[in-house]
Amino acid sequence: MSGYDTSWSGRGLEWDMALDATSVLISVHDSEYNLLRINAAFAALLKKTQQEIVGRKCYEVMHGTSEPPVHCPHTRALNEGSHQKAEFFEPHLGLMLQVSVSPIFGADGRLIASIHIAKDMALTPPLQDDVATQALTGRQKQILSLFCSGRVAKEIAFQLKISPKTVEYHKYRMMKKFPVRSLSELITRVLTRHPSAIQ
């Protein structure tokens, strides 16, 4: 792992215990996108051991891709040398993530790695049904109406001229607002309790 500051990697058990004591996802990435360190919550999310994940490319693990995504905050941190934040829906994990990236500089001033702190935004308390209905955006009401009419995500995306990932993101947010665990449960709840939400 080129460019990795070995003096920084020498932090020991106390550091690991501090990382593992939190439920947020914490990871350290080098300048070549290798995962240098992850905490227990990160490993638990992926249902793997820390040893199985460390050393792999972060974009392969987190996004299931062969290269960093366009919204990658680590890329921005490398290019700009500054703290970065991002919020995005990650379909590979099925999570809406809020990510904060802090650069790590070596003794010579070069940016050699970054610490990522990621939070699952769905863990915030859900809204009550009536409040959730009022909180639906115009786009979400369009998408929900089309789901209720029997359309699937690709058909909705084509009709509204948006990407299927955008449709999935809005579906995910609506499911968290009510809250429900499936699209069928969302449709049933809306049709039986809040039909005005799709009119």
At residue 74, what is the residue type?
H
CATH 3.30.450.20 residue window(s) in the chain: 6-122
pLDDT tens digits, 108-140: 888 888 889 898 877 655 555 566 667 788 899
pLDDT tens digits, 19-75: 777 788 989 899 999 999 898 999 999 999 999 999 999 999 999 999 999 889 999
Distance CA 86, CA 75 (A): 12
pLDDT the model gives residue 6: 40
CATH 1.10.10.10 residue window(s) in the chain: 129-193
Which of 63, 64, 38 minimizes the C-alpha distance to 51?
A: 38
Domain 129-193: assigned CATH number = 1.10.10.10
113 CB burial (10 A radius; 0-12, 13-18, 19+): buried
Q: Is the pLDDT of residue 4 over 60?
A: no
pLDDT tens digits, 159-178: 889 999 999 999 998 888 88
Full-model pTM: 0.59
User: What is the CATH class of 6-122?
Assistant: alpha beta
Question: CB atoms < 10 A from the CB of 66, how many?
Answer: 8
